[in-house]
């Protein structure tokens, strides 16, 4: 098992374009989280899934953002009509069932998005 995998690692896009990122969690991890990290800040929670169900969404996740986990395995995060303020590192994490108090969330290396 190679850990949480995110693709692509880097993405440069023009303002107004749509982008999609993929996260492959550790196999058998049924919880999957998305965070966003801007320069000089800590990661900010965006959303999380238990299997295919999206259980919580942050108010940071505007209507332009959508996340899916169709079969309870990999997840995608799509940003429509990108804005310069969307430039950030997008982090994915996964954990076994049981919550963060009982288990550990393992983070991927992230996808760095630059909107020009």
Partner 1 sequence: AQSVTQLGSHVSVSEGALVLLRCNYSSSVPPYLFWYVQYPNQGLQLLLKYTSAATLVKGINGFEAEFKKSETSFHLTKPSAHMSDAAEYFCAVSDLGNEKLTFGTGTRLTIIP
* Sheet of 75-79, strands arranged across: 5-7, 19-24, 75-79, 65-68
3 contacts partner 1 (rule: CB under 8 A)? yes
Binding mask 66-85 for partner 1 (x = CB under 8 A): --------------------
Q: Tell me whether residue 6 or residue 82 sits nearer to partner 1 (CB atom).
A: 6
91 contacts partner 1 (rule: CB under 8 A)? yes
Burial 57-89 (b: 16+ CB within 10 A, else e): eeeebeeebbbebeeebbbebebeebeeebbbb
Point out which residues bind partner 1 (CB under 8 A): 3-4, 31, 33, 35, 40-45, 48, 55-56, 58, 91, 93, 99-101, 104-110
């Amino acid at each position: 098992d190679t850990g949480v995998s995110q693709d692509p690692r880097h993405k440069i896009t023009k303002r107004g374009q749509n982008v999609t990122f993929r996260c492959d969690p550790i196999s058998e991890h049924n919880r999957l989280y998305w965070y966003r990290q801007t320069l000089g800040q800590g990661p900010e929670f965006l959303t999380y899934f238990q299997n295919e169900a999206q259980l919580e969404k942050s108010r940071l996740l505007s209507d332009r953002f959508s996340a899916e986990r169709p079969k309870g395995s990999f997840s995608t995060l799509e940003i429509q009509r990108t804005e310069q303020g969307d430039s950030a590192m997008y982090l994915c994490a996964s954990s076994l069932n049981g919550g963060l108090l009982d288990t550990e969330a393992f983070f991927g290396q992230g996808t760095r998005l630059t909107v020009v």
